[in-house]
Chain A
Amino acid sequence: MPTTYTAGNALRTYCEAFERRAADELVQLFADDAVFELPLHDGRIVGRTAILDEIRTALRGLEKIKVILEHIVESDTEVFAEGIFQADPIGIHPRLDGSPVRLDFKFVAIVTVSDGKVTRWSEYFDTKPLKPRERTHLYPISRRSAYWEGTVDAGVSEFMVYNHTYLPLVYHHSPAEEYAALTERVTLWDVGGERQTELRGPDALRFAQYLTTRDLSKLKVGDCKYTLVCDPDGQIICDPVLLHPWKDVIWLSHGDADLTLWATGVAMNSGLNVEVREPDVAPVQIQGPKSLEMLRGLVESPLDGLGFYKCFTTKVAGIDAVVSRTGWSGGLGYEVFPLSSDQAMALWNGLIEAGRAYGLMVTGPNVFRAVEKGVTDTAYYSNSNMNPYEAGHGRLVDLEKGDFVGRLALQKVATEGAKRKTVGLLIDGELPELEWYWPLSDERGNPGEVRWAVHSFELQRNIAIAIADAGLEVGETVQIHHQAGISRATVTTVPFV
Chain B
Amino acid sequence: MTLQIHLDSYCKAFNGRSLDAALSLFSDHALFEMPLLGQRLFGKGEITAGLRRIFEVTESATIALSGRKESLRVIIAEGQLDAKLHRDSSSVRIPLAISLEAQDGRISRLSTYLDARPYRLWSDRVIFATSQPSSN
- Write the residues of chain A forming the contact surface with B, with a CB cutoff of 8 angstroms: 37, 39, 71, 73-75, 78-82, 106-108, 110, 122, 124-128, 131, 172
Contact = CB atoms under 8 A, between A and B. Distances in A.
Given A106-B111, A124-B78, A71 B116 contact: no
A84 to B, nearest CB: 11
B110 interface: no
Interface string B15-35: 000000000000000000101
Interface stretch (B5-13, B56-64, B68-76): B68-76
Given A82-B99, A108-B78, A126 B71 contact: no
B117 A128 contact: yes
Interface of B: 33, 35, 38, 67-71, 73-78, 95-97, 99, 111, 113-117, 120
B74 A126 contact: no
B120 A128 contact: yes
Interface centre among B33, B70, B113 (most CB of A within 10 A): B113
B63 to A, nearest CB: 13
A73 B99 CA distance: 11
Contact of B76 (A37, A39, A81, A172): A81
Given A106-B33, A124-B97, 5 more contacts: A71-B76, A82-B76, A124-B113, A125-B113, A126-B115
A82 B78 CA distance: 12
A345 B69 CA distance: 48
A110 B71 CA distance: 15
A367 B123 CA distance: 35
Contact of A106 (B69, B77, B78, B113): B113
B97 A108 contact: yes
A71 B99 contact: yes
Contacts of A75: 69
Contacts of B71: 71, 73
B115 A125 contact: yes
Contacts of A108: 76, 78, 97, 99, 113
B58 to A, nearest CB: 18
Given A71-B99, A80-B76, A82-B111, A110 B117 contact: no
Contacts of B114: 39, 124, 126
B35 A78 contact: no
B115 A82 contact: no
A128 B113 CA distance: 12
A244 B46 CA distance: 66
A110 to B, nearest CB: 6
B110 to A, nearest CB: 12
A110 B78 contact: yes
A337 B111 CA distance: 50
Given A80-B76, A82-B111, A127 B97 contact: no
Nearest to A71: B74
A241 B125 CA distance: 46
